[in-house]
Amino acid sequence: MRIRANRSFAALAILLFALPALAAKNAPGTNSVTFSVHEATTIGQTQLKPGEYSLQAVDGQSELDILQHGKVIGKAACHWIALPAKAAVSEVLTDQGKVTQVNFRGDIQAVQID
């Protein structure tokens, strides 16, 4: 019986530690897109090497978080623009190795990198 109580306590502890991470991931107004970098790319002042990255922006805020392996590795100044229609897919737009805009699927607005 004591083993069962220890296992239950351990499972509860893991769940309590995981809840904030799950809540932050699905927070209302948080937009996220994952993309692959195949050659050196710049977002704002942050240089990205080839690899997998996530970009997150919160509605109304003027900063885009750059994440790799779930950790914030940089931030980029941005501003929100209105799209003519909801974005059909999430996409990261680049020009000459620089990220210029991020569209989020189903959203009527996008972020442009300053």
Q: Which residues, other chains included, contact 65 with Cβ-Cβ below 8 Å and sequence gap of 6+?
A: 55, 56, 57, 72, 74, 75
In this prediction, residues 19-24 reach a mean pLDDT of: 39
Confidence of residue 50 (pLDDT cuts 50, 70, 90): very high
Distance CA 45, CA 11 (A): 42
Confidence of residue 26 (pLDDT cuts 50, 70, 90): very low
H/E stretch holding 53 reads strand 51-58
pLDDT for the residue numbered 85: 97
Going from N- to C-terminal start, the domains of the chain cover 29-113
Assess whether pLDDT exceeds 60 at residue 20. Answer: no
pLDDT for the residue numbered 13: 39
The residue with greater pLDDT, 61 or 16, is 61
Place of tokens 């897919």: 89
pLDDT for the residue numbered 94: 96
Mean pLDDT of the chain: 84
Give yes or no for a contact between 10 and 17, defined as CB atoms under 8 angstroms apart.
Answer: no
pLDDT for the residue numbered 4: 54
